Structure 1
Protein backbone atom coordinates (compact mmCIF):
# COMPACT_ATOMS: atom_id res chain seq x y z
CA UNK A 1 0.00 0.00 0.00
CA UNK A 2 1.41 3.38 -0.98
CA UNK A 3 4.61 4.50 -2.67
CA UNK A 4 7.95 5.76 -1.36
CA UNK A 5 7.48 8.68 1.02
CA UNK A 6 3.71 8.26 1.27
CA UNK A 7 2.08 8.63 4.67
CA UNK A 8 -0.17 5.79 5.77
CA UNK A 9 -2.83 6.55 8.38
CA UNK A 10 -5.29 4.42 10.32
CA UNK A 11 -7.72 5.31 13.08
CA UNK A 12 -7.95 1.72 14.34
CA UNK A 13 -5.43 2.27 17.15
CA UNK A 14 -6.73 3.70 20.41
CA UNK A 15 -5.80 4.26 24.03
CA UNK A 16 -8.74 4.03 26.43
CA UNK A 17 -11.53 5.72 24.46
CA UNK A 18 -9.29 8.06 22.42
CA UNK A 19 -9.04 6.80 18.85
CA UNK A 20 -5.74 8.53 18.13
CA UNK A 21 -4.76 6.34 15.21
CA UNK A 22 -1.37 5.46 13.77
CA UNK A 23 0.94 6.82 11.05
CA UNK A 24 3.86 5.39 9.09
CA UNK A 25 5.98 6.42 6.11
CA UNK A 26 6.48 4.08 3.15
CA UNK A 27 10.05 2.95 2.41
CA UNK A 28 11.64 2.98 -1.04
CA UNK A 29 10.76 -0.59 -2.02
CA UNK A 30 7.10 -0.11 -0.90
CA UNK A 31 7.13 -3.43 0.97
CA UNK A 32 8.33 -1.78 4.20
CA UNK A 33 7.29 1.17 6.37
CA UNK A 34 9.02 3.16 9.07
CA UNK A 35 6.90 3.51 12.18
CA UNK A 36 7.21 4.23 15.88
CA UNK A 37 5.35 1.50 17.76
CA UNK A 38 4.66 1.28 21.50
CA UNK A 39 6.97 -1.21 23.15
CA UNK A 40 9.09 -1.52 20.00
CA UNK A 41 10.32 2.01 19.26
CA UNK A 42 11.15 3.23 15.77
CA UNK A 43 11.31 0.28 13.44
CA UNK A 44 11.39 -0.79 9.83
CA UNK A 45 8.35 -3.04 9.50
CA UNK A 46 6.54 -4.92 6.77
CA UNK A 47 4.03 -2.85 4.82
CA UNK A 48 0.99 -5.00 5.53
CA UNK A 49 -1.42 -2.10 6.14
CA UNK A 50 -4.02 -3.44 3.73
CA UNK A 51 -4.41 -6.52 5.97
CA UNK A 52 -3.28 -5.09 9.31
CA UNK A 53 -5.89 -2.34 9.71
CA UNK A 54 -9.58 -1.97 8.83
CA UNK A 55 -9.48 1.80 8.35
CA UNK A 56 -6.60 3.01 6.23
CA UNK A 57 -5.63 5.79 3.91
CA UNK A 58 -2.59 6.82 1.96
CA UNK A 59 -1.47 10.38 1.40
CA UNK A 60 1.30 12.24 -0.35
CA UNK A 61 2.76 15.62 0.53
CA UNK A 62 1.90 18.43 -1.91
CA UNK A 63 4.91 19.66 -3.84
CA UNK A 64 7.17 16.81 -2.71
CA UNK A 65 9.11 15.32 -5.61
CA UNK A 66 10.73 11.88 -5.57
CA UNK A 67 13.93 13.30 -4.05
CA UNK A 68 11.97 14.87 -1.17
CA UNK A 69 10.11 11.62 -0.59
CA UNK A 70 13.31 9.56 -0.55
CA UNK A 71 14.93 12.06 1.85
CA UNK A 72 11.90 11.87 4.16
CA UNK A 73 11.91 8.07 4.29
CA UNK A 74 15.70 8.07 4.83
CA UNK A 75 15.30 10.54 7.70
CA UNK A 76 12.74 8.21 9.29
CA UNK A 77 15.12 5.27 8.76
CA UNK A 78 17.90 7.15 10.52
CA UNK A 79 15.79 7.05 13.70
CA UNK A 80 15.62 3.23 13.78
CA UNK A 81 15.97 1.94 17.32
CA UNK A 82 14.98 5.19 19.04
CA UNK A 83 12.55 4.55 21.92
CA UNK A 84 8.79 5.08 21.72
CA UNK A 85 7.16 7.71 23.94
CA UNK A 86 4.28 10.16 23.72
CA UNK A 87 5.88 12.11 26.57
CA UNK A 88 8.15 14.04 24.24
CA UNK A 89 8.13 17.34 22.36
CA UNK A 90 7.63 17.54 18.60
CA UNK A 91 11.14 18.81 17.98
CA UNK A 92 13.16 16.51 20.23
CA UNK A 93 15.08 13.69 18.56
CA UNK A 94 15.55 11.23 21.40
CA UNK A 95 12.06 9.62 21.63
CA UNK A 96 9.30 9.16 19.05
CA UNK A 97 5.65 8.38 18.57
CA UNK A 98 4.22 7.52 15.16
CA UNK A 99 2.98 10.86 13.86
CA UNK A 100 5.97 12.74 15.30
CA UNK A 101 8.27 10.49 13.24
CA UNK A 102 6.31 11.24 10.06
CA UNK A 103 6.04 14.97 10.87
CA UNK A 104 9.78 15.31 11.55
CA UNK A 105 10.63 13.37 8.40
CA UNK A 106 9.07 16.08 6.24
CA UNK A 107 9.80 19.05 8.51
CA UNK A 108 13.53 18.28 8.64
CA UNK A 109 14.07 17.29 5.01
CA UNK A 110 11.69 19.53 3.06
CA UNK A 111 10.78 22.17 5.64
CA UNK A 112 7.10 21.24 5.36
CA UNK A 113 5.06 21.50 8.56
CA UNK A 114 2.29 18.89 8.33
CA UNK A 115 0.77 19.76 11.73
CA UNK A 116 -2.62 21.24 10.83
CA UNK A 117 -3.16 22.92 14.21
CA UNK A 118 0.40 23.71 15.31
CA UNK A 119 -0.10 22.20 18.78
CA UNK A 120 2.51 20.81 21.15
CA UNK A 121 1.83 17.29 19.83
CA UNK A 122 1.20 16.22 16.26
CA UNK A 123 -1.41 13.49 15.85
CA UNK A 124 -2.37 11.31 12.88
CA UNK A 125 -5.48 13.52 12.53
CA UNK A 126 -3.30 16.66 12.37
CA UNK A 127 -1.38 15.19 9.44
CA UNK A 128 -4.54 13.77 7.85
CA UNK A 129 -6.23 17.20 8.00
CA UNK A 130 -3.19 19.18 6.89
CA UNK A 131 -3.66 21.37 3.84
CA UNK A 132 -0.28 20.02 2.70
CA UNK A 133 -1.34 16.36 2.39
CA UNK A 134 -3.50 14.79 -0.29
CA UNK A 135 -5.35 11.49 0.09
CA UNK A 136 -5.55 9.23 -2.95
Structure 2
Protein backbone atom coordinates (compact mmCIF):
# COMPACT_ATOMS: atom_id res chain seq x y z
CA UNK A 1 0.00 0.00 0.00
CA UNK A 2 1.41 3.34 -1.06
CA UNK A 3 0.78 5.59 1.93
CA UNK A 4 -1.20 3.51 4.31
CA UNK A 5 0.18 3.40 7.83
CA UNK A 6 -0.68 0.37 9.92
CA UNK A 7 -1.94 2.29 12.94
CA UNK A 8 -5.18 2.81 14.78
CA UNK A 9 -7.94 5.07 13.61
CA UNK A 10 -10.34 5.77 10.81
CA UNK A 11 -9.94 8.73 8.48
CA UNK A 12 -12.81 11.09 7.86
CA UNK A 13 -14.44 10.83 4.48
CA UNK A 14 -15.19 14.52 4.03
CA UNK A 15 -12.96 14.82 0.98
CA UNK A 16 -15.31 12.58 -0.98
CA UNK A 17 -18.74 13.98 -1.76
CA UNK A 18 -21.10 12.10 -4.04
CA UNK A 19 -23.50 14.77 -5.22
CA UNK A 20 -26.53 14.93 -7.41
CA UNK A 21 -24.30 15.56 -10.43
CA UNK A 22 -23.22 11.92 -10.28
CA UNK A 23 -26.41 9.91 -9.75
CA UNK A 24 -25.15 6.76 -11.48
CA UNK A 25 -22.00 6.64 -9.35
CA UNK A 26 -23.95 7.27 -6.18
CA UNK A 27 -26.40 4.53 -7.02
CA UNK A 28 -23.64 2.03 -7.77
CA UNK A 29 -21.76 2.92 -4.62
CA UNK A 30 -24.88 2.60 -2.49
CA UNK A 31 -25.73 -0.82 -3.92
CA UNK A 32 -22.21 -2.20 -3.47
CA UNK A 33 -21.89 -0.76 0.03
CA UNK A 34 -25.23 -2.27 1.01
CA UNK A 35 -24.06 -5.70 -0.14
CA UNK A 36 -20.73 -5.26 1.65
CA UNK A 37 -22.56 -4.50 4.90
CA UNK A 38 -24.53 -7.74 4.53
CA UNK A 39 -21.28 -9.69 4.18
CA UNK A 40 -19.80 -8.02 7.27
CA UNK A 41 -22.62 -8.56 9.80
CA UNK A 42 -22.46 -6.11 12.68
CA UNK A 43 -20.56 -3.45 10.74
CA UNK A 44 -22.43 -0.32 9.69
CA UNK A 45 -22.40 1.41 6.32
CA UNK A 46 -20.87 4.53 7.86
CA UNK A 47 -18.06 2.52 9.50
CA UNK A 48 -17.21 0.71 6.30
CA UNK A 49 -17.40 3.87 4.21
CA UNK A 50 -15.10 5.78 6.58
CA UNK A 51 -12.57 2.95 6.65
CA UNK A 52 -12.62 2.52 2.89
CA UNK A 53 -12.29 6.26 2.36
CA UNK A 54 -8.90 6.02 4.05
CA UNK A 55 -7.99 3.06 1.89
CA UNK A 56 -9.06 4.93 -1.26
CA UNK A 57 -6.78 7.81 -0.33
CA UNK A 58 -3.85 5.53 0.44
CA UNK A 59 -4.30 3.48 -2.72
CA UNK A 60 -4.95 6.50 -5.00
CA UNK A 61 -8.27 5.05 -6.11
CA UNK A 62 -11.84 6.30 -5.84
CA UNK A 63 -14.09 5.41 -2.95
CA UNK A 64 -16.32 3.51 -5.35
CA UNK A 65 -13.35 1.43 -6.53
CA UNK A 66 -12.35 0.70 -2.94
CA UNK A 67 -15.88 -0.44 -2.09
CA UNK A 68 -16.04 -2.67 -5.16
CA UNK A 69 -12.64 -4.16 -4.37
CA UNK A 70 -13.63 -4.85 -0.77
CA UNK A 71 -16.93 -6.36 -1.88
CA UNK A 72 -15.22 -8.68 -4.34
CA UNK A 73 -12.81 -9.88 -1.68
CA UNK A 74 -15.61 -10.41 0.84
CA UNK A 75 -17.61 -12.41 -1.70
CA UNK A 76 -14.57 -14.55 -2.47
CA UNK A 77 -14.05 -15.18 1.23
CA UNK A 78 -17.64 -16.35 1.70
CA UNK A 79 -17.41 -18.60 -1.36
CA UNK A 80 -14.16 -20.19 -0.21
CA UNK A 81 -15.34 -20.64 3.36
CA UNK A 82 -18.50 -22.37 2.13
CA UNK A 83 -17.95 -24.45 -0.98
CA UNK A 84 -15.13 -26.83 -0.01
CA UNK A 85 -16.37 -27.44 3.51
CA UNK A 86 -18.68 -30.07 4.99
CA UNK A 87 -22.22 -29.07 5.95
CA UNK A 88 -21.48 -29.04 9.67
CA UNK A 89 -18.92 -26.29 9.06
CA UNK A 90 -21.59 -23.81 8.00
CA UNK A 91 -23.76 -21.87 10.40
CA UNK A 92 -21.46 -22.18 13.40
CA UNK A 93 -20.80 -19.06 15.48
CA UNK A 94 -17.88 -16.77 14.65
CA UNK A 95 -15.87 -18.22 17.50
CA UNK A 96 -13.50 -21.08 17.97
CA UNK A 97 -15.15 -21.77 21.30
CA UNK A 98 -18.41 -23.68 21.14
CA UNK A 99 -18.48 -23.38 17.38
CA UNK A 100 -18.31 -27.05 16.52
CA UNK A 101 -18.12 -30.56 17.85
CA UNK A 102 -14.40 -31.29 17.66
CA UNK A 103 -11.85 -30.39 20.33
CA UNK A 104 -9.13 -28.15 18.88
CA UNK A 105 -6.40 -29.42 21.18
CA UNK A 106 -2.69 -28.74 21.28
CA UNK A 107 -0.36 -27.42 18.60
CA UNK A 108 3.04 -28.68 17.55
CA UNK A 109 4.81 -25.42 18.35
CA UNK A 110 4.39 -21.95 19.79
CA UNK A 111 3.13 -19.46 17.19
CA UNK A 112 1.09 -21.99 15.21
CA UNK A 113 -2.35 -20.94 13.98
CA UNK A 114 -5.66 -22.66 13.41
CA UNK A 115 -8.43 -21.91 10.93
CA UNK A 116 -11.91 -23.40 11.27
CA UNK A 117 -15.18 -23.15 9.38
CA UNK A 118 -17.44 -20.64 11.15
CA UNK A 119 -19.94 -17.94 10.31
CA UNK A 120 -21.31 -14.67 11.61
CA UNK A 121 -25.10 -14.36 11.48
CA UNK A 122 -25.25 -16.82 8.61
CA UNK A 123 -22.34 -15.46 6.56
CA UNK A 124 -19.35 -17.82 6.63
CA UNK A 125 -15.87 -16.32 6.72
CA UNK A 126 -14.25 -18.79 9.10
CA UNK A 127 -12.45 -18.26 12.39
CA UNK A 128 -8.78 -18.25 13.34
CA UNK A 129 -6.50 -17.88 16.33
CA UNK A 130 -2.85 -18.12 17.31
CA UNK A 131 -1.17 -20.48 19.79
CA UNK A 132 0.55 -18.53 22.57
CA UNK A 133 2.06 -21.84 23.60
CA UNK A 134 1.28 -25.37 22.52
CA UNK A 135 -1.76 -25.60 24.80
CA UNK A 136 -3.11 -22.03 24.89
CA UNK A 137 -4.59 -19.92 22.10
CA UNK A 138 -5.25 -16.21 21.74
CA UNK A 139 -8.37 -15.32 19.76
CA UNK A 140 -10.98 -12.67 19.10
CA UNK A 141 -14.01 -14.90 19.73
CA UNK A 142 -16.82 -12.84 18.23
CA UNK A 143 -19.53 -10.24 18.63
CA UNK A 144 -19.93 -8.70 22.11
CA UNK A 145 -16.81 -10.48 23.36
CA UNK A 146 -13.24 -9.33 23.90
CA UNK A 147 -10.08 -10.99 22.65
CA UNK A 148 -8.71 -13.49 25.12
CA UNK A 149 -6.42 -16.39 25.88
CA UNK A 150 -8.04 -19.77 26.46
CA UNK A 151 -6.98 -23.40 26.79
CA UNK A 152 -7.02 -25.14 23.41
CA UNK A 153 -8.53 -28.17 25.08
CA UNK A 154 -11.70 -26.20 25.81
CA UNK A 155 -12.12 -24.88 22.27
CA UNK A 156 -14.52 -26.65 19.90
CA UNK A 157 -14.11 -26.32 16.13
CA UNK A 158 -15.91 -27.63 13.07
CA UNK A 159 -14.92 -30.50 10.83
CA UNK A 160 -12.38 -29.29 8.30
CA UNK A 161 -10.48 -27.10 10.77
CA UNK A 162 -6.72 -27.01 10.20
CA UNK A 163 -3.64 -26.44 12.31
CA UNK A 164 -0.77 -24.69 10.57
CA UNK A 165 2.77 -23.59 11.23
CA UNK A 166 4.38 -20.48 9.80
CA UNK A 167 7.40 -20.83 7.51
CA UNK A 168 9.80 -18.69 9.51
CA UNK A 169 12.23 -18.96 12.38
CA UNK A 170 11.37 -20.17 15.85
CA UNK A 171 12.34 -16.73 17.15
CA UNK A 172 9.84 -14.94 14.92
CA UNK A 173 7.06 -17.41 15.68
CA UNK A 174 7.71 -16.96 19.39
CA UNK A 175 7.73 -13.16 19.06
CA UNK A 176 4.35 -13.18 17.30
CA UNK A 177 2.84 -15.45 19.93
CA UNK A 178 4.19 -13.30 22.76
CA UNK A 179 2.86 -10.14 21.09
CA UNK A 180 -0.63 -11.60 20.83
CA UNK A 181 -0.64 -12.53 24.50
CA UNK A 182 0.92 -9.34 25.86
CA UNK A 183 -0.74 -6.73 23.66
CA UNK A 184 -3.76 -8.06 21.78
CA UNK A 185 -5.94 -9.48 24.52
CA UNK A 186 -8.84 -7.49 25.93
CA UNK A 187 -9.77 -5.83 22.62
CA UNK A 188 -13.42 -5.39 21.75
CA UNK A 189 -14.63 -7.21 18.65
CA UNK A 190 -14.69 -5.53 15.24
CA UNK A 191 -17.29 -6.75 12.75
CA UNK A 192 -15.53 -5.25 9.73
CA UNK A 193 -13.18 -7.51 7.80
CA UNK A 194 -13.31 -5.29 4.69
CA UNK A 195 -10.25 -3.19 5.63
CA UNK A 196 -8.86 -4.52 8.88
CA UNK A 197 -5.11 -4.56 8.23
CA UNK A 198 -4.08 -2.44 11.20
CA UNK A 199 -1.80 -3.68 13.94
CA UNK A 200 -3.15 -1.56 16.79
CA UNK A 201 -6.84 -0.74 16.99
CA UNK A 202 -9.23 -0.70 19.97
CA UNK A 203 -11.36 -3.31 18.22
CA UNK A 204 -10.12 -6.40 16.39
CA UNK A 205 -11.57 -9.43 14.66
CA UNK A 206 -10.04 -12.89 14.61
CA UNK A 207 -8.00 -12.74 11.41
CA UNK A 208 -6.86 -9.18 12.15
CA UNK A 209 -5.49 -10.35 15.51
CA UNK A 210 -3.48 -13.21 14.00
CA UNK A 211 -2.27 -11.03 11.12
CA UNK A 212 -1.34 -8.16 13.48
CA UNK A 213 0.59 -10.45 15.83
CA UNK A 214 2.90 -11.60 13.06
CA UNK A 215 3.08 -8.24 11.28
CA UNK A 216 3.87 -6.23 14.41
CA UNK A 217 6.30 -8.63 16.05
CA UNK A 218 8.00 -10.26 13.08
CA UNK A 219 7.21 -8.16 10.01
CA UNK A 220 5.46 -11.13 8.40
CA UNK A 221 2.34 -10.55 6.29
CA UNK A 222 0.04 -13.58 6.46
CA UNK A 223 -2.60 -12.15 4.10
CA UNK A 224 -2.64 -14.72 1.33
CA UNK A 225 -4.12 -12.50 -1.38
CA UNK A 226 -2.82 -9.07 -0.39
CA UNK A 227 -6.31 -7.55 -0.40
CA UNK A 228 -7.72 -4.60 1.50
CA UNK A 229 -8.80 -6.87 4.33
CA UNK A 230 -7.48 -10.11 5.78
CA UNK A 231 -9.96 -12.96 6.29
CA UNK A 232 -9.37 -16.27 8.09
CA UNK A 233 -9.08 -18.26 4.88
CA UNK A 234 -6.59 -15.72 3.51
CA UNK A 235 -4.34 -16.84 6.35
CA UNK A 236 -5.06 -20.50 5.64
CA UNK A 237 -4.12 -19.99 1.98
CA UNK A 238 -1.00 -17.91 2.60
CA UNK A 239 2.19 -19.22 1.03
CA UNK A 240 3.73 -18.84 4.48
CA UNK A 241 1.35 -21.20 6.30
CA UNK A 242 1.72 -24.96 6.13
CA UNK A 243 -1.10 -27.28 7.23
CA UNK A 244 0.11 -30.18 9.35
CA UNK A 245 -3.21 -31.40 10.73
CA UNK A 246 -6.81 -31.37 9.48
CA UNK A 247 -9.57 -32.20 11.96
Q: Normalization by structure 1: what TM-score?
A: 0.88
Q: 1:62-99: per-residue Cα shift (whole Å, max 9, x none)?
A: 1x222111110111111111111123631142211001
- Matched with 2:220 is 112
Deviation of 1:61 (Å): 1.0
Q: Which structure's residues are more often helix, by fraction?
A: 2
Q: Report the CA distance between 1:4 and its aligned residue.
A: 0.8
Alignment of 1:53 onto 2:157:
yes
Alpha-carbon shift at residue 18 of structure 1 (Å)? 2.5
State how 1:63-78 maps to structure 2 within 5 Å: 64-77=168-181, 78=183
- SS of the residue corresponding to residue 27 of structure 1 reads strand
Equivalent residue number for residue 9 of structure 1: 115
Structure 1 segments unaligned to the other structure (5+ residues): none
Query: Alpha-carbon deviations, 1:24-64, whole Å to 9, x = none?
Result: 10112x22100001222110011037x611321111111x2
CA distance in structure 1 between the partners assigned to 2:132 and 2:230 by the alignment: 21
**What root-mean-square deviation, in Å, do the aligned CA atoms of Structure 1 and Structure 2 show?**
1.7
More strand by share: 1
Q: CA deviation at 1:130?
A: 0.7
How many residue pairs match? The answer is: 132
CA distance in 2, matches of 1:105, 1:128: 15
State the TM-score, normalizing by the size of structure 2: 0.50
Quick one: which of 124, 130, 142 aligns to 1:19?
A: 124
Map of 1:90 onto structure 2: 197
Secondary structure (helix, strand or coil) at the match of 1:109 reads: helix
1:99 is matched with 207
